Amino acid sequence: MSFKMSHTEIHVLDLDRSVAFYEKALGLRVVRESGPDDGSWKIVFLAGDGSPHQLELTWNNGRVEPYDQGGGDIHLAFEADDIEQAHALHEQMGCITHENPAMGIYFIADPDGFKIEIVPSR
C-alpha cells in the first residue's frame, strides 16, 4: 500500500480575495471548483507548476466569524527559486509577518491570517 499527498484545505471568508492573493503571492492558479446549486458553499482547488500538491480553499456562505486556522501553529511552506524576488513581492504586498534572516526564511499571511512559510530552494 502507498499514499501520495493530494491537497491541503483551509477555510476562507472571502473566496475571491483569497484566490487573488494566492495567484499573486504564490503564482497558483485555479484548476477546479465545485459547490451545490444553492450556493451554500464552494471549494476551489489551486495548483502551481512546481508541485502536484494542491491547495483547497473552502468558502461557506454567510460565515463572518474568522476561522481558527490551527491557532497559528499550522502553516504551509513554499520553496522560492528566487528568495530575494519573492521577498520583494511579499514586502510590496504587505503580507510579511515574520522574518528569520539567520535561517533565510520568512512568513507571510493570507487574507484570513493563515501562515505561509517561504523558504529558499534547497
User: Annotated active-site positions, please?
Assistant: 117
**DSSP character string of 18-51:** HHHHHHHHH--EEEEEE--TT-SEEEEEEE-TT-
Partner residues linked to 117 by β-bridges: 77, 107
Task: State how far the Cα of 34 lies from the Cα of 43, in Å rounded to an integer.
Answer: 5
Give Cα 88 distance to the centre of its chain. 18
